Amino acid sequence: MSGYDRDESVAVIGAGSWGTTLARILGDNGRRTLLWARREDLCREINESRENRDYLPGAELAPCVEATHDLQRVCDTCKLMLLVVPSHGLRKLAYELGGFVTGEHVVVHVTKVIEQATFKRMSEVLVEETCLRKIGVLTGPNLAKELAQRQPAGTLVASRYDEVFRRAHAALSSDYFRVYWGQDVIGAEVGGAFKNIVALAAGVVTGLGLGENSKALLLTRGLSEMARLGVAMGAEVLTFGGMGGIGDLIATCSSTLSRNHQVGARLAQGESLQQIQDHMQMVAEGVKTTGAVHGFATRKGLELPIVRAVYHLLYEGGTAPRLLEDLMSIPTGAEFVALTV
Amino acid sequence: MRPEDRERAQVESSTRVVDHHVATAGKNPREYLEDLVGDTLYYERQRLEREPRGDARTRADTAFYHKVQRRLRHASNADLRELLEEIARRFAAEVVGNFDERVYKLTTTAVPAGLSVMLNAMSPRRSGSLSSLGAGLSGHIQTQGETDHVRDLLDRGTLVVVPTHSSHLDSIVLGYSAHLLGLPPLLYGAGLNLFNNPLVSFFMNHLGAYRVDRKKKARLYKDVLKEFASVAVEMGYHNLFFPGGTRNHSGAVEQHLKRGLLGTAIRAYVENLRAGRPKPEIFIVPCTISYKLVLEAETLVDNHLKETGKSQYIIDRDEFSRPRRVLNFMSDLVSLDGRIVLTFSKPVDLVGNEVDRQGRSLDPRGRVVDPRRYVLSDGAPAHDAQRDMEYTNGTAERIAQAYLRDNVIMSTHVVAWSLFRMLERKNPHLDLYRLIRTGGTTPSLPISEVAGEVDRTLLAISELGTRPRMGSDLEQGDTLDIIADALRYFGTYHTQPAALRRGDRVFPKDMKLLYYYGNRLRGYELGRQLAERREETLSP
């Protein structure tokens, strides 16, 4: 193992709830951590109060965590970076980063979305905007709120480069956070994005007052559809049986607090997408991902009935009872046919 | 390679390989080294059993490995190392080419005349028509693309030219074309079988070839070969690799590139940085060679069809080993004004970044990046096999994309593709192999239908996201001229024409050739583009 692994400084780009949580994990491990936020006042507040009151109130940060808004300083200081920014800002930020990073940098992103306009995965966006090669993705059943309470959890770091995992593992793994490794970047990225669509449908199931059997049916078939899309994009089927597939799906669909779940539940209660979005500060990722995946599936002639039903509900004036009807009328057959695409 | 460098390269490559294995073997090397020597013995003896027994080289090799086996039985650790060194040195001695810059200069300036003389010598009856061949050759090779860019990089580092590979003529054509461009000699690995070819061994020996014996499967041999390639690049010899490995048999533009030799460029780069060499940069230059007719088309496609789905095997005899076929091909090339088009793509660095004319690596947004940073570990340049393999994979993808963009499509390709597609549609009940074997149930196609299909194909190509370059023969005249041009070519060189026209109908004659030439358009999603257009046309 190289000297990097033991004591290198780590950057977390983005000080939302998940970014701050990751900075806290790094701080718990005694790593010198630079937490980057665009807002200078937020950085000042974090440094003074040792807490990110806006996004992760009540979670104290170790003294080795420092917030900064100076992106160049972050890139000059840290060769290992975790990129924790929302999907809509990633391309712009990637371009900015491109001005400071070098081929030496290792960047692990956590953005669970596929770019709507281009159908590009986030690692592809990074390659298009920067000189970076050593790129990885961190994904899994990681609800920030639970990790902020140091509850046990696991995650997946997927990268084509052994070094990316080695360094991310050394920095992040702890007695409450287990880091697994995979090489299937495509699978990890597709799983992370796709689960938001299933979470939205799970919200509908909850909103309709249905029970656990129904939800389990949805999750299982959702997983199958996730794998079918993934394989069509070049992923390996097994990835979806791991942290970034079933793991993430279970955690996200079990949590009634996620934005995707809330959108689904409110649609089930008869609100329109427009009404819901008017009252939500941030768009649920599942809404955009459904549009992107549906477009891709149509172009490629890929059969994704759950995506089609959710798309109908979101964009074609469908109703929740109709979604249920659509899903229950999908022909059944051999269970694993879908996985062998 | 200069004589003084030959010895250096030979010693350096064999020593490095042996040192590497001894280091890997660790403190208790016996089992590891025995395995390595045993592996070499096994593969070499297997190979020798299939070689002609009377051959001098075969006899010498057989005797050598007999001795190795005898010594292996009672070998101490020191003996094992010695055996390994002897085998590695023997491999390295064979690999090292007979490169002599003075001879190269003489040869390249004399290529047209030399070729003419040789062809004359082989076929005195045709000497009249050949007298103009030499002078005409240069007129039939068209070089285009980033030639100035490539020339600018010569003084800034070492070039590794990576061309597509359709024919044994590639290396000659490229060597000659590089010379016309003012590029220095390119060192390249040519199959050992080529050195046995009376026509071409002359060029191989003098245009900077080193020997690659693809029949040698032993790990030690492959290690020596790769190390030699790396050492040659380190010494500043501009190199030529065919990343597709062997000639592509299907006719399609190579998309699955071999990483082995390509990966040696990164090894060389790290060594350059470690040694503090003044111009450590290495530039990868993709190059696409497009032929309107391919000398070995018949044998290649035959083997492709036989071997699809099976492991590749090596072709010992083909059109290239029959001087008369080469003669006919060259002669037709001149009389038909057939062009061989070489397109140099934009050079890239070792991780696939574009390189500007000053030799600086650029990120996708045009910002200058430092390529050294990619190979640093703890701040110093270091080898990392896994990392470098991934870099090489990325570079191979960039090369494959460049091939698709810079492949030049000519009338023979478009017409073959169109005819083959029409026959596929008219014979939906036949799979590919049966269609090729039987020709289907449609002996001829109306010229008007063929013209319609060619038009649609050309339009679909122009609408592709990633599309090939169009040959000048596609830009002259109308569709019927394009078809006539292709049929004229098909009717000349090959044993039987791929297709011919009688009256107002086109008769497909050689399905394999149609498939082969049409394959040049595979890899572009052209089938889907055409299907979508067809649906649009058919829908009300």
On the CB side of B157, CA atoms within 13 Å amount to 29
* Residue B216 confidence (pLDDT): 92
Q: Is B278 on the interface with A (CB under 8 A)?
A: no
Indicate yes or no: CB of A131 within 8 angstroms of CB of B394: no
Strand B469-470 and strand B499-502: the pairing is unpaired
Residue of B nearest to A130 (CA): B363
Burial B45-80 (b: 16+ CB within 10 A, else e): eebbeeeeeeeeebeebbeebeebeeebeebeeeeb
Indicate yes or no: CB of B386 within 8 angstroms of CB of A163: yes
Indicate yes or no: CB of A133 within 8 angstroms of CB of B384: no
Indicate yes or no: CB of B373 within 8 angstroms of CB of A102: yes
Residue B212, CA distances (Å) to B216, B226, B229, B245, B304 in order? 9, 10, 11, 11, 22
A–B CB contacts, 8 A cutoff, strictly below: 51
Indicate yes or no: CB of B370 within 8 angstroms of CB of A102: yes
Chain A: nearest CA to B133, how far in angstroms? 48
* Residue A293 confidence (pLDDT): 95
DSSP assignment of A276-341 equals HHHH-SS--HHHHHHHHHHHHHHHHT---HHHHHHHHHHHS---HHHHHHHHHTSPP--TTGGGG-
The closest alpha carbon to B490, from B505, B475, B469, B506, belongs to: B506
* Residue A16 confidence (pLDDT): 92
* Residue A218 confidence (pLDDT): 94
Q: Looking at the DSSP assignment, which residues form a beta bridge with residue B145?
A: B344
Residue of A nearest to B367 (CA): A99
Strand A80-83 and strand A10-13: the pairing is parallel
Indicate yes or no: CB of B390 within 8 angstroms of CB of A161: yes
Q: What percent of chain B has pLDDT over 70?
A: 82
Q: Assign 3-class secondary structure to B229-247.
A: HHHHHHCCCCEECCCCCCC
Picking from A2, A98, A163, the nearest residue to B367 by CB comes out as A98
Indicate yes or no: CB of A4 within 8 angstroms of CB of B393: no
Residues 6+ apart with CB under 8 A from A243: A139, A140, A141, A154, A155, A156, A180
Spell out, as residue ranges, where chain B has pLDDT lower than 70.
Answer: 97-139, 193-208, 309-325, 327, 330-338, 533-540
Residue of A nearest to B395 (CA): A133
Q: Is B376 on the interface with A (CB under 8 A)?
A: yes
Do the Cβ atoms of B315 and B303 come closer than 8 Å? yes
Q: Which residues of B touch A127 (CB under 8 A)?
A: 364
Q: How far apart are CA B167 and CA A167, in angstroms?
A: 46
Picking from A102, A129, A161, the nearest residue to B387 by CB comes out as A161
Q: Is B393 on the interface with A (CB under 8 A)?
A: yes
Q: Is B331 on the interface with A (CB under 8 A)?
A: no
Domains of chain B: 101-186+238-294+308-406 (no CATH), 409-538 (1.10.10)
> Per this entry, what is the length of chain B?
540
Looking at CATH, the fold of the domain delimited by A188-330 is given as N-(1-d-carboxylethyl)-l-norvaline Dehydrogenase; domain 2 (1.10.1040)
Per-residue pLDDT of chain A (341 residues; tens, 9 = 90+): 444 456 789 999 999 999 999 999 999 999 999 999 999 999 999 999 999 999 999 999 999 999 999 999 999 999 999 999 987 888 999 999 999 999 999 999 999 889 888 999 999 999 999 999 999 999 999 988 899 999 999 999 999 999 999 999 999 999 999 999 999 999 999 999 999 999 999 999 999 999 999 999 999 999 999 999 999 999 999 999 999 999 999 999 988 878 899 999 999 998 988 888 888 766 688 998 999 999 999 988 899 999 999 999 999 988 999 888 888 888 888 777 645 44
In 3-state terms, what secondary structure has residue B65? helix
Chain B: nearest CA to A31, how far in angstroms? 18
Question: Choosing among A101, A124, A129, A131, which should be mutated to test the B contact, i.e. which has the most B CBs within 10 A?
Answer: A131
Chain B: nearest CA to A185, how far in angstroms? 13
Known catalytic residues of A are 195
Residues of A with a Cβ under 8 Å from any B Cβ are 2-4, 95, 98-99, 102-104, 127-131, 133-134, 160-163
Q: How far apart are CA B63 and CA A320, in angstroms?
A: 82
Q: What is the pLDDT of residues B21-57, one digit of tens each?
A: 999 988 888 889 999 999 999 999 999 998 887 888 8
Indicate yes or no: CB of A127 within 8 angstroms of CB of B364: yes
Strand B499-502 and strand B505-508: the pairing is antiparallel
The closest alpha carbon to B85, from B8, B9, B15, B36, belongs to: B15
Residue of B nearest to A164 (CA): B387
In 3-state terms, what secondary structure has residue A199? helix
Do the Cβ atoms of A36 and A15 come closer than 8 Å? yes
Indicate yes or no: CB of B364 within 8 angstroms of CB of A95: no
Picking from A2, A128, A131, the nearest residue to B377 by CB comes out as A2
**What residue segments make up the domains of chain A, in order of their start?**
4-183, 188-330
Picking from A103, A128, A161, the nearest residue to B373 by CB comes out as A103
Indicate yes or no: CB of B369 within 8 angstroms of CB of A103: yes
Q: How far apart are CA A27 and CA B12, in angstroms?
A: 49
Q: Assign 3-class secondary structure to B172-229.
A: HHHHHHHHHCCCCCCEEEEEHHHHCCCCCHHHHHHCCEEEECCCCCCHHHHHHHHHHH
Q: Is B535 on the interface with A (CB under 8 A)?
A: no
How far is CA A267 from its chain centroid? 23
On the CB side of B456, CA atoms within 13 Å amount to 23
Indicate yes or no: CB of A163 within 8 angstroms of CB of B370: no
Q: Looking at the DSSP assignment, which residues form a beta bridge with residue A81?
A: A11, A107
How far is CA A200 from its chain centroid? 15
Chain A: nearest CA to B537, how far in angstroms? 18
Please state which CATH number belongs to domain A4-183. Answer: 3.40.50.720
Domains A4-183 and A188-330 share a fold: no
Q: Is B395 on the interface with A (CB under 8 A)?
A: no
- In A3-86, where does DSSP find H-type helix? 4-7, 17-28, 40-49, 71-77
Indicate yes or no: CB of B373 within 8 angstroms of CB of A4: no
* Residue B337 confidence (pLDDT): 62
ipTM score for this prediction: 0.91
Residue of A nearest to B389 (CA): A161
In 3-state terms, what secondary structure has residue A171? helix
DSSP class of B132:
T
Neighbours of A328 (CB within 10 A): 11
Q: Is B373 on the interface with A (CB under 8 A)?
A: yes
How far is CA A235 from its chain centroid? 17
